[in-house]
Chains A and B, each alone.
Chain A
Amino acid sequence: MKWMSIVVGFLLSIGVGVAAETITVKGSDTMVILAQRWAELYMLKHPDVTIQVTGGGSGTGISALINGTTDICNSSRPMKQSERDKLKQRYNTLGVEIKSARDGLAVYVNESNPVKELTLAQIKAIYTGKITNWKELGGPDAKIILYSRENNSGTYVYFKDNVLEGEDYAAATQSMPGTAAVVNAVAKDKFGIGYGGAAYGKGIRFVKVKKDVKSAGFEPTPENVKSGNYPISRYLYLYTRSRPSGALKQYIDWILSDEGQQIVSKVGYFPIR
């Protein structure tokens, strides 16, 4: 009995080794501001807990989760089967998926651009290189300059899977290192178009997005995203390797609480409840 207690004690002591008072969060650039706000407020209320937040993209965050260099991965897209397979191989788990907020993926143009709304099919045609001139969309006779995210970004993957329906981006698409960089580029480029989190939409103009030609166009406002009228919306996820426990669980529970969800609204995203 004594030996059993020692063995169980040892196993538990190394088992809960991850639940130290420092929590590392890595991943989605779309979520980085939100994650920082969560961390700041939580650390104010829990001075014994340190939370380190970095971006880098959803893909980078998921790699960090697999490599064991982060406790929480922020991701603006669901984890792929191939990524779950890697978790299975190393940790014998599928990862734990936690929906933490909802986001409308906005399509931006320069403020001077007269094009006010686009259908999903038109956006797809623009980004796959089938429509190359604003004239074809009722705008000026000028080449469309495409701005996108890098391929380690969850926003990039989500947009490709759900808007481009799996087709490849046009070769002329310029990859930017973050959503803020996309916004900045479009704000400076009269003929530019970009996409990203609605919370980043300052200094540019949102295009109203229509499901098809017959539908009405909607902007990514909280009401439109919540009602499902805005056609490009997604969940923002937190991932852990295995079921969270200790300080990690307390932090995630707090994120999902009313207090944590209020921050979601303040940052410009949409609470999950």
Chain B
Amino acid sequence: MRIACIAFCLFVGTFGLLAQEKAEQDSLYTELKEKLAELKGQVDGLNESYLETKTTVDALKKIKVTGYIQSQFQTAESDGIGSFAGGNFPSGVHSRFQVRRGRVKFNYDNDLTQYVLQIDVTQNGVGIKDAYATIKEPWMKTLSLTGGIFDRPFGFEISYSSSNRESPERTRLYQTLFPGERELGAKLEVTPPETSPLSFVNLKLGVLNGVLNTANENDNYKDLLGRAGVQIPLVEQGLAIDGGVSLYSGKVRSNSRALYKMDSGLKNYVIDSTSSNVGGYFDRTYVGGDAQIYYDLPVLGGLSLRGEFITGKQPGTSGSSQFYNPGGTVTPLYHRNFAGWYVNYIQNIGLQHQFVLRYDEYDPNTDVQGSDIGIAGKNLTAADLKYTTLGIGWVYHWDANVKFTLYYDLVTNETVNAFTTTTALLPFKEDLKDNVLTIRMQYKF
């Protein structure tokens, strides 16, 4: 009986202990299960948070902000000269500091659509450079349409960014024909993808107001222009040959009945005063060809030779061969045949140095020579004189962001007839003292 009691007590005790242990295990299991659920919840939360952050970061990646500042010191050969090396010098001044360009560019790139806004901040104020939107067709990704203010699709020099260009300014030819480089309008671009057998060709066609990028349209005529280009990379040979042909077909509206046209036989302007000239449209036509050769020179580094030729008909005024833009005052229109060209030689020397040599020529009136200008009875002006510029420079790339440029523009003008007595032409009896030295620092990000 005693043994039975002891056995019973042991059984009850053991059972109690086992039951207690099981209850503890159940409790621990429940606790672990809860902890696991809690951790899973936290991981899910972190995952959601990560995806949310990733979505935000991916959206932010589409926004690109770039820019550059070019600050420079210039000294000219004489006071108050007219210059294409960053604008005319003020009267009585031959040296100056300038912020030549202070650009900030915002680009929202959504792969097939693009928004671009670029502003320029200098000592002269704030100006708009680019403001355009581009859409690309999604099927072949070859054709794109751009609308707004953008680079005129003509030639090579316009599209070559000022921040990359080795010489401080574009040539006199381009600054005269395309002041500000940009225009208001629409542009169609054909750029076959790299996988296409036609990837070496590209085509740009534009329809523009034909005034300046900052001016409103002043007539109902739209200018057409375009460039057909090729790019031939010969990678094995370290050689690339690019080129293109361009055409500009535009018209300007005259607000004057006085139209001066060149008579190449007389080597003088003849006036056409037909009353219908007021409000009439006159040709602004350019034809151009450009070529760029790049070659990897062993040991020294890459070199490029870039050249361009443009000829055509330019409507201007008596005092300027920049294109005619009818304003508030009645201004006679001068129609000139012009031609211009340049050749640029860039030699990279190692990683950080570049030697730059450029020669450019701009003849605003190909029907006359300097000696024809200033002869009594002729109405040719200083705006008909040919200019050549030899530029020599050195570029030092401090790092990926900063570069320094030392550049000298040696400007030579045609001289007028030695016997001229016209007061305005007297300074042009000899070469003007208008050479300019530029020392520039650029920061780009």
Contact = CB atoms under 8 A, between A and B. Distances in A.
Interface stretch (A11-19, A190-198, A204-212): A11-19
B279 interface: no
A234 interface: no
Interface in A200-256: 241-243, 245
A121 B347 CA distance: 49
A97 B235 contact: yes
Interface string B209-240: 00000000000000000000001010100111
Interface in B122-160: 141, 160
Nearest to A64: B400
A88 B232 CA distance: 13
A99 B351 CA distance: 23
B356 to A, nearest CB: 11
B301 interface: yes
A37 interface: no
Contacts of B349: 11, 14-15
Nearest to B292: A88
Interface in A5-49: 11-12, 14-18
A175 B51 CA distance: 11
Given A94-B296, A242-B296, A242-B301, A166 B397 contact: no
Nearest to B140: A166
Given A81-B231, A94-B240, A88 B351 contact: no
Interface size class for chain B?
35 or more
Interface string B282-301: 00000000000011111111
B90 interface: no
A80 B194 contact: yes
B351 A68 contact: yes
Contacts of B347: 92
Nearest to B305: A92
B397 A93 contact: no
Contacts of A81: 194, 199, 231, 233
Contacts of B295: 92
Residue in A81, A175, A245 with the greatest tally of chain B CB atoms within 10 Å: A81
A242 B303 CA distance: 11
Interface in A153-177: 161, 166, 175
Contact of B348 (A69, A92, A95): A92
B406 to A, nearest CB: 15
A14 B352 contact: yes
A243 B351 contact: no
Interface size class for chain A?
20 to 34
B350 interface: yes
A242 B302 contact: yes
Interface string B240-264: 1000000000000000000000000
Contacts of B235: 94-95, 97
Given A67-B400, A68-B397, A243 B348 contact: no
B346 interface: yes
Given A67-B400, A94-B238, A243-B238, A15 B195 contact: no
B433 interface: no
B350 A14 contact: yes
A16 B350 contact: yes
Contacts of A18: 350-351
B193 interface: yes
A16 B294 contact: no
Contacts of B400: 67-69
B302 A11 contact: no
B193 A15 contact: no
Given A17-B350, A81-B199, A166-B193, A245 B299 contact: yes
A92 to B, nearest CB: 3
A97 B300 CA distance: 18
A93 B238 contact: yes
A90 interface: yes
A142 interface: no
Interface of A: 11-12, 14-18, 67-69, 80-81, 84, 88-97, 161, 166, 175, 241-243, 245
20 contacts: A11-B349, A14-B350, A14-B353, A15-B299, A17-B351, A17-B352, A68-B399, A69-B400, A80-B194, A81-B199, A89-B160, A91-B301, A92-B302, A92-B346, A92-B348, A94-B235, A94-B240, A241-B302, A242-B238, A243-B296
Given A67-B400, A92-B304, 8 more contacts: A11-B349, A68-B399, A81-B233, A84-B233, A84-B240, A89-B164, A96-B296, A241-B351
